Amino acid sequence: METTETKRKRNPVFIVILAVLIIGGAWFGISKYEHSLHHEDTDDAQIGADISPVIPRVAGYVKDVRVNDNQHVKKGDTLLILDNRDYEIKVEQAEAALEIAQTNLNTAKATTTAARANISTSQASVGTVDAQIEAAKVNLWRASQDYDRYANLIKDHSITQQQYEQALAAKQTAEKQLSILQEQKKQAQQQTNAVSVQSNATASQINVASATIHQRQVDVDAAKLNLSYTVITAPEDGLVSKVNVQPGQFVQAGQPLFSVVHSDNVWVIANFKETQLDKMKEGQKVIIKADAYHGHKFEAMLSSFSPATGSTFALLPPDNASGNFVKVVQRLPVRIDFTNKSDTLVKKLRPGMNVTVDVHLD
């Protein structure tokens, strides 16, 4: 009788506990259901930020490292200095080649000026010969007239044979003189043409020399530009990652050395299941909780959706057309930006930190 009465006394307690569990479970389930109608959340989310790699544009030996791990730098601060002696020599070589090209241009200009002066001299010589030819023609006309008269007089024996021969000799001399002057005119004209051709050739040399100067100037600019690349500066404000380079180390152009993380501008990349995206849209309010700062809520806003799922951008994307197909729920990266700029803890967040994201669908 006592055992039966004891069990009866315990039954109400068990019933109360069971009722509390059932009511609590029902309340928890209903609250979760109500929450799911107005919220979408995921813990597959990390902090993102702009990360600029520090990459040398020229090869060389590291002369000096001006930064340490985790150091804050500003845009334009010197990070590394490479040995620049080889590049200084290349600048001097390019400048010497430029001076030679400028000298060649001056020589070509002087040669062209002299050639043009020779053209003027040759043209003056042609003019002088023309005047002499005209005088020779007059002299020939007079000698011809005298010869004709003496030829008629010799028939009548009015003059002596000597006078006739003198007139004939004067005529022949005048003809010969005219012939010589005409030949000299031809030679002077040929010389003038030759000097003109030479002048045109030297004028073209000026264009070639000018083009060479431009090319050499470009070489100088390129050499100076490469020289400037021996000083590597910070691309933006931020924090330096682990510096994996030491003085004396040889680095190649395009070789990543370390990175600068832009800590002033961070965001969240949350990977939501494709089944969660039905009611999500840009501009919705988001509450973020970071594992590093337990209990603190960060205010944010859904900014944009990725154009493709994460698996699409993988190094080895899945090919569902080959082999056996197994349907897997895909995740789509979503960018979320912080809206409360006065929150000091936002600046303490670092890329890669885990966070929990709660999107308000209303």
Given this model, what pLDDT does residue 122 score? 63
Given this model, what pLDDT does residue 123 score? 59
Task: Please check the confidence at residue 30 and state whether its pLDDT lies above 90.
Answer: no
Please compute the mean of the pLDDT values over residues 115-122 and round it to a whole number: 63
CATH code assigned to 56-82+231-255: 2.40.50.100
pTM, two decimal places: 0.64
Task: Please check the confidence at residue 338 and state whether its pLDDT lies above 70.
Answer: yes
d(CA 27, CA 34): 10
Positive or negative torsion for Cα 22, 26, 27, 32: positive
d(CA 11, CA 16): 9
**Cβ neighbourhood burial of 318 (10 Å; 0-12, 13-18, 19+):** middle
232, 64 contact by CB (below 8 A): no
Q: Which helix (H) or strand (E) holds 54?
A: strand 39-54
Please compute the mean of the pLDDT values over residues 350-362 and round it to a whole number: 91
Task: Please check the confidence at residue 47 and state whether its pLDDT lies above 60.
Answer: yes
Task: Please check the confidence at residue 118 and state whether its pLDDT lies above 70.
Answer: no
333, 16 contact by CB (below 8 A): no
Domain 85-228 has CATH 1.10.287.620: yes
Model confidence at 145, pLDDT cuts 50, 70, 90, reads: confident
Positive or negative torsion for Cα 151, 155, 158, 160: positive
| More confident position, 203 or 26 | 26
Residue 283, classed as helix, strand or coil, is coil
Model confidence at 109, pLDDT cuts 50, 70, 90, reads: confident
Positive or negative torsion for Cα 251, 256, 258, 264: positive
Model confidence at 92, pLDDT cuts 50, 70, 90, reads: very high
Nearest by Cα to 305 from 331, 332, 273, 283: 332
| Residue 317 DSSP label | -
Please compute the mean of the pLDDT values over residues 60-72 and round it to a whole number: 93
Top-confidence range, 47-51, 131-135, 184-188: 47-51
Task: Please check the confidence at residue 1 and state whether its pLDDT lies above 50.
Answer: no
Please compute the mean of the pLDDT values over residues 175-196 and round it to a whole number: 70
Model confidence at 120, pLDDT cuts 50, 70, 90, reads: low
Model confidence at 221, pLDDT cuts 50, 70, 90, reads: very high
| Residue 319 DSSP label | -
Task: Give the pair of three-digit tokens for residue 256.
Answer: 């990543």
Domain residue ranges in the chain:
40-51+260-362, 56-82+231-255, 85-228
The average confidence (pLDDT) of the chain is 82
- The structural architecture, per CATH, of the domain 40-51+260-362 is Beta Barrel (2.40)
d(CA 109, CA 98): 17
Would strands 258-273 and 331-338 be described as parallel, antiparallel, or unpaired? antiparallel
Top-confidence range, 23-32, 68-77, 145-154, 261-270: 68-77
Top-confidence range, 19-33, 110-124, 243-257: 243-257
Given this model, what pLDDT does residue 203 score? 63
Given this model, what pLDDT does residue 226 score? 95
**Residue written as token pair 């849209």:** 281
Q: In what order do the strands lie in the sheet with 250-251?
A: 231-233, 78-82, 60-65, 250-251
Please compute the mean of the pLDDT values over residues 156-168 and round it to a whole number: 71
Lowest average pLDDT, out of 10-24, 67-81, 333-347, goes to 10-24
69, 240 contact by CB (below 8 A): yes
Top-confidence range, 198-207, 235-244, 314-323: 235-244
Listed in sequence order, the residues at least 6 apart from 64 whose beta carbon sits closer than 8 Å to its beta carbon are 80, 81, 247
- Residue 277's identity, in one-letter code, is L
